[in-house]
Amino acid sequence: MTIDAPTALLDRVLSALEVRSAQGRRSTLAPGATLPLAAGIATLGYVVDGEVGGTDGQLHACGADRDAPPDAPPSLRAGDAFLSSGASPSALVSASGAHIMTAEVDLAWPLTAPMPAAFLFVSRFADSEPAAAALAANLGPAAGEIAPARSGDPVICRMMMTTVALSFVRAWAAAGCAPPGWPTSAADPFLLRVAQAITDDPGRAWTLDTLASIAAMSRSTLAERFRTAFGSTPANFVTDVRMRRAQALLDAGHSVSDTSRALGYASDEGFSRAFRRHVGVVPSRWAARPDAMTA
């Protein structure tokens, strides 16, 4: 089956985007109340009812409600969703009151399509992604509510938040909100072929010569075009794909040694060093974290 390049690339972006952890809650804003958005971590949000606006001009450009009067300040209404990068402190304010679901999420964006803006939002998210919107509307306890902890809660919460986050990115891209060239390689099927080959077999001993042969171009041309398209060298892209596959294998209960061999490393020590440089912790510690989906 042949898949067009833009569709295949968006599929790869969605498959590579990870939600490492998430903590959801439901907030009721009284008229005039402000909802702060934390700095240093992304916040995924969904407006269940009511209306909210920005306090620092973050609601602008693509994503605005096209039915609103031209001179009306942009706002988020019931059924809309947003994602704040947490690059700096910000806040939303509701003039008339609102009910909002928010979740602080630890997102790992793929190298091929890093988060392009500090604040993204999608009007009518509930229309384009009704299942994800229904899920978002009921995630997390209400403010002040203490929900009893149950076995598996961190894993289930992360999976639910992943569904909402991926649906948000899909709706955002489908609405034409992605900046030109995001992902930038969509117009180059030869680079797509290279990226797909690496993704399909990350454990192969990839060399620039081999990748250039797949791309039907010289080594220097491949290196230049690949960096322009993906913001990364081919070698760094291989490492990125390997480390994401390693995280998935470790989460599934594979041992460090099995994971190392599957990804083509000559020794567990070399794999552990590469994993720590890329992820920030050694593989054994990653596998032992509380929300790991071990078998």
Residue 237, domain CATH: 1.10.10.60
Q: Given its phi and psi angles, is residue 119 left (phi above 0), alpha (psi -120 to 50 degrees) or beta?
A: beta
Greater confidence, 58 or 43?
43
Q: Are residues 37 and 62 in the same domain?
A: yes
Report yes or no on 153 lying in a domain.
Answer: yes
- pLDDT at residue 173, as a whole number: 80
Report yes or no on 253 lying in a domain.
Answer: yes
**Maximum mean pLDDT: which of 7-21, 112-126, 227-241:** 227-241
Q: Are residues 149 and 193 in the same domain?
A: no
Quick: pLDDT tens for 119-164: 888 889 999 999 999 999 988 776 666 666 666 677 788 888 889 9
Helix orientation angle between 189-200 and 5-16, rounded to the nearest 10 degrees: 40
> Is the Cα dihedral 79, 97, 76, 141 positive or negative?
negative
**Helix or strand holding residue 275 (H, E):** helix 268-279
- pLDDT at residue 61, as a whole number: 47
22: pLDDT confidence band, cut at 50, 70 and 90?
A: confident
**Maximum mean pLDDT: which of 111-115, 234-238, 252-256, 257-261:** 257-261
200: pLDDT confidence band, cut at 50, 70 and 90?
A: confident
Report yes or no on 2 lying in a domain.
Answer: no
Q: Are residues 144 and 227 in the same domain?
A: no
Report yes or no on 6 lying in a domain.
Answer: no
Report yes or no on 111 lying in a domain.
Answer: yes
- pLDDT at residue 256, as a whole number: 94
Q: Model pTM? A: 0.60
Least confident residue range of 1-5, 91-95, 178-182, 250-254: 1-5
Q: Are residues 108 and 230 in the same domain?
A: no
Answer with the one of 174, 197, 215 that is the final residue of a domain.
174
pLDDT of 4 above 70? no
- pLDDT at residue 186, as a whole number: 44
pLDDT of 216 above 50? yes
Supply 189's token pair: 């099927």
44 close to 164: Cβ distance less than 8 angstroms: yes
Q: Are residues 248 and 165 in the same domain?
A: no
The closest alpha carbon to 203, from 246, 233, 236, belongs to 246
pLDDT of 36 above 70? yes
Q: Indicate the number of domains in the chain.
A: 2
Answer with the one of 131, 152, 174 that is the final residue of a domain.
174
Q: Are residues 161 and 31 in the same domain?
A: yes
Greater confidence, 177 or 55?
177
- pLDDT at residue 179, as a whole number: 63
Q: Are residues 150 and 71 in the same domain?
A: yes
Report yes or no on 144 lying in a domain.
Answer: yes
Secondary structure (3-state) at 93: strand
Report yes or no on 119 lying in a domain.
Answer: yes
Q: Are residues 64 and 168 in the same domain?
A: yes
The predicted model gives 219-234 an average pLDDT of 84
Q: Which residues have CB under 8 Å from 204's CB, separation 6+? A: 264
Greater confidence, 86 or 111?
86
Quick: pLDDT tens for 68-91: 555 555 688 999 999 888 877 788
Q: Are residues 129 and 239 in the same domain?
A: no
184: pLDDT confidence band, cut at 50, 70 and 90?
A: very low
Report yes or no on 160 lying in a domain.
Answer: yes
Answer with the one of 139, 174, 209 that is the final residue of a domain.
174
- pLDDT at residue 9, as a whole number: 60
pLDDT of 191 above 60? yes
75: CATH: 2.60.120.280
Greater confidence, 58 or 33?
33
Q: Are residues 219 and 110 in the same domain?
A: no
Q: Are residues 151 and 203 in the same domain?
A: no
- pLDDT at residue 56, as a whole number: 60
- pLDDT at residue 116, as a whole number: 64
Residue 208 domain boundaries: 188-287
- In sequence order, what are the beta bridge partners of 77? 51
Q: Are residues 30 and 137 in the same domain?
A: yes
